[in-house]
A and B are shown apart, each in its own frame.
Chain A
Amino acid sequence: MGDRSLDELLASANETIAAQSRELERLQADAALVERFREALRVAATGAAVGSPVSHTRLLEMVVETAVHIISANAGALLLLDEESDELVFAVAVGGKSEEVKSFRVPLGHGVAGLVAASGQPMAIAGTDSVETAQEIAEGIGYQPRSVLCVPLFYGGEVVGVLELLDKLDAEAFYPDDIGALSLFANQAAVAIAQSKAHQGALGILRSALVGLGEDAGELREVVREVATDIEGDEAHRQEIELARLVHEVASRGPEERAACKAILRALAAYVSSPAGTRTGNVG
């Protein structure tokens, strides 16, 4: 300490303070973002009855993007089970030549994805000498992966699809821990996908998909930001949410208000859905 002047000490202290306040600002920005996300989810939950803020396809893309990001993979794909034909259908792919994968199908039991779907067992393979092993992926994504991690998507105790990641970044193979993490995520995602399919509003559902990953909220920042932007950017959707808010406001006043609101809206719905020529002025 004796070697350093008071000025130097002060400068050092100031530097520390500056670094700390930068960190504080960053944390506050994170907190603000999380808060913004929460608000988006709340609004979306309210608006779920009148419109889906995120398309089903976008939700599937987000699932794969998030998985690729969390597990540090080069590419990923989501395949959903077509029970009619017992085939897996490529739904979305991220990375690779993803625009080429549409409508690609893998028979159940064929290749890594088909085997994972048939057995319900997650699988990690790497260093495969045989190029045929991951042929369905190679064809679907447009290149031959060095390592593959594939997990089933379970919904209601049944396999509904598989989530497949390709080429662990900076490693020869996916880590054993990745299998557990991706399996967990896939299960969350399966719930989201099934619910989205049932037209329950994708954003409210994404919340359940992300519940299991709550502690890693920072990791998901990019995805969250995109979601929030999607919502705010869509004027039609904003109006639908405004409608939902009005309904919520009226309905929360009591059972009579709720009944009246319902009767009015039902009559209005019947009115607007009838052929224009048959409409009468009476909406009561």
Chain B
Amino acid sequence: MSGSGYRPAFSEAFNPDSLPILDPISPIEDVSEEWAWGGARGRGVRVGIIDSGVEEGHRMVGPVDGWLAASMAAGDVRLSSQPHEDAMGHGTACAGIVRSHAPDCELYSIRVLGPGASTGEAFIAGLRWAIENGMHVCNLSLGTTKKAYYAALHELADLAYFRNVILVTAANNFPISSFPCEYASVISVAAHEGRDPETYYYNPMPPVEFGAPGINVRVAWRGGGTSLVTGNSFAAPHVTGFVARLLEKHPDLTSFQVKSVLRALAANMRREEL
């Protein structure tokens, strides 16, 4: 076998001639908020809001940079890049929270919930579009409990992970098995009762790894209004916003590095001992 040129599958990547040389980052525990996202506003970072649509021009949301709506037509998924409305307010709420953390990010409304959509197929089509069309981070304050979609969603979550498209998902509000929030390849978030939007925690007992405000919080809603809401849906967009800021300063971070940085900067980290 020696000298024959044969290599096991995937081993070419580690050939000394083609081995990529990596830029170092600080030892992970030395990461500071200043290093991670100090002064960042999410500029140049494309954020996909995979939800019920986003109301463009809402005072808490501002402009929407791109559109995709997945809907069902005669059993098939149809994609449209025409601007659309928010079917109920949920997507606008998530977009407003992301915007509050990353005012300069590019928001993309990827509508998979609403009349004519709201199927596993529409959800999968919207998520695939996001991964394949340049989103850097996606907010998924939704999921499915249908086992039929487990494999397809798992495959997409892994694809996103390998392409460094960060998927931030809301844990289900009720302890029932749902996807994609339970996959190791996504960042899963649940609500804590705190009010400070910058305070988030790391949970060393996955599947839910992070906690952010999401209980009785005031959020943007459709029709230019606001609503007082409770749910993990409204916790995830905080983390999406942090990731948008982080990726502005460090666009080459991998999925696992992003998660490590988030953990290092969690409010329950004993940073004074560093």
A121–B118 contact, CB under 8 A? no
**Residue A179 lies at the interface, judged by CB distance under 8 Å to chain B:** yes
- Minimum CB–CB distance from A175 to chain B (whole Å) comes to 9
Which A103-120 residues have C-beta < 8 A from chain B?
Answer: 107-112, 114-115, 118-120
Number of A positions contacting B (CB below 8 A): 39
B177 partner residues in chain A, CB cutoff 8 A: 157
Q: Which of B116, B215, B227, B228 has the most CB of A within 10 A?
A: B227
Q: In chain A, what residue has the closest Cβ to B146?
A: A158
Chain B interface size, as a band, is 35 or more
B233–A125 contact, CB under 8 A? no
- Minimum CB–CB distance from B182 to chain A (whole Å) comes to 13
**Residue A20 lies at the interface, judged by CB distance under 8 Å to chain B:** no
A198 to B224, CA, bound (A): 45
**Residue A124 lies at the interface, judged by CB distance under 8 Å to chain B:** yes
Which B121-146 residues have C-beta < 8 A from chain A?
Answer: 141-146
A129–B113 contact, CB under 8 A? no
Given contacts A158-B145, A159-B145, A176-B215, contact A121 B223 (CB under 8 A): no
B118 partner residues in chain A, CB cutoff 8 A: 86, 108-109, 114, 118
B146–A122 contact, CB under 8 A? no
A121–B225 contact, CB under 8 A? no
A234 to B118, CA, bound (A): 44
B176–A154 contact, CB under 8 A? yes
A130–B114 contact, CB under 8 A? no
A270 to B250, CA, bound (A): 79
B193 partner residues in chain A, CB cutoff 8 A: 176
- Minimum CB–CB distance from B57 to chain A (whole Å) comes to 14
Given contacts A118-B113, A124-B229, contact A130 B221 (CB under 8 A): yes
B143–A128 contact, CB under 8 A? no
Given contacts A114-B118, A133-B223, A157-B146, contact A119 B113 (CB under 8 A): yes
A183 to B228, CA, bound (A): 19
- Minimum CB–CB distance from A117 to chain B (whole Å) comes to 8
**Residue A132 lies at the interface, judged by CB distance under 8 Å to chain B:** yes
A129–B225 contact, CB under 8 A? yes
B88–A125 contact, CB under 8 A? no
- Minimum CB–CB distance from B171 to chain A (whole Å) comes to 9
B87–A109 contact, CB under 8 A? yes
B270 partner residues in chain A, CB cutoff 8 A: none
Which A182-201 residues have C-beta < 8 A from chain B?
Answer: 183, 187
A121–B115 contact, CB under 8 A? no
B147 partner residues in chain A, CB cutoff 8 A: 157
**Residue B199 lies at the interface, judged by CB distance under 8 Å to chain A:** no
B215 partner residues in chain A, CB cutoff 8 A: 176
B 151-181 binary contact with A (CB < 8 Å = 1; else 0): 0000000000000000000101110111000
A114 to B270, CA, bound (A): 43
A129–B223 contact, CB under 8 A? yes
B170 partner residues in chain A, CB cutoff 8 A: 121
B224 partner residues in chain A, CB cutoff 8 A: 129-130
B222–A86 contact, CB under 8 A? no
28 pairs, CB–CB < 8 Å, chain A vs chain B: A107-B115, A109-B117, A110-B87, A110-B88, A112-B88, A114-B118, A118-B113, A119-B113, A119-B142, A120-B144, A120-B172, A120-B176, A121-B170, A121-B233, A123-B173, A126-B227, A126-B228, A127-B228, A128-B225, A128-B227, A129-B226, A130-B227, A133-B225, A159-B145, A174-B230, A179-B173, A179-B230, A179-B231
Q: Which of B's residues lie within 8 Å of A, judged by CB? A: 52, 87-90, 113-119, 141-147, 170, 172-174, 176-178, 193, 215-216, 218, 221-233
6 nearest CB pairs, A to B: A129-B225, A130-B223, A109-B118, A118-B118, A130-B225, A124-B230
